[in-house]
Structure 1
């Protein structure tokens, strides 16, 4: 397993590489229902609704492949991409 980390603004993203998949995890710090994720090809588009004055944050990043599953749990976004 290998790990890559990056920070952009207030976001901290980790990417784990396993033999059969990559796992991208991001701590978002909001309720699960405040997160909307679309995967278009190899791009993940994440929209976070902060709930105050209809404030939203949107960011996108490239995935290492197109076969992705998305899950949010306790404010943590997890994207698993099959190799």
Structure 2
């Protein structure tokens, strides 16, 4: 497990399981306020809160990815 924070001190964690990687980030946004695109092994996260738009990119492990936003938590599951 790895844990890191961004400049605003929001937490993200990465877990490794036998069949997948899971990245969970506390974004405190709804699914309507965040858009995630996976391009190759790069996740591009765009957050639009109406008065501010931010974009973040980060590398993912290789594999097929599923994205979900629920209760303010962004979860990216990468299947090995």
- 1:76 positional shift: 0.7
Q: Is 2:65 the counterpart of 1:68?
A: yes
For 1:47, the equivalent position in structure 2 comes to 46
SS across alignment from 2:69? strand
Q: How many residues align?
A: 79
- What is the CA–CA distance in structure 2 between the aligned matches of 1:66 and 1:48, rounded to whole Å? 24
Structure 2: runs of 5+ lacking an equivalent = none
Q: Which runs of 5+ in 1 are unaligned?
A: none
Of 1, 5, 8, the match for 1:7? 5
Q: Deviations over 1:26-83 (max 9, x none)?
A: 111112210000000000000011222xx10110110011311111101110000011
Match of 1:29 in 2: 28
Aligned residues: CA RMSD: 0.9
- Relative to the length of structure 1, the TM-score reads 0.89
Q: Distance in 2 between matches of 1:64 and 1:13?
A: 15
| Runs of 4+ off more than 3 Å | none
Structure-2 separation of matches of 1:50 and 1:9: 17
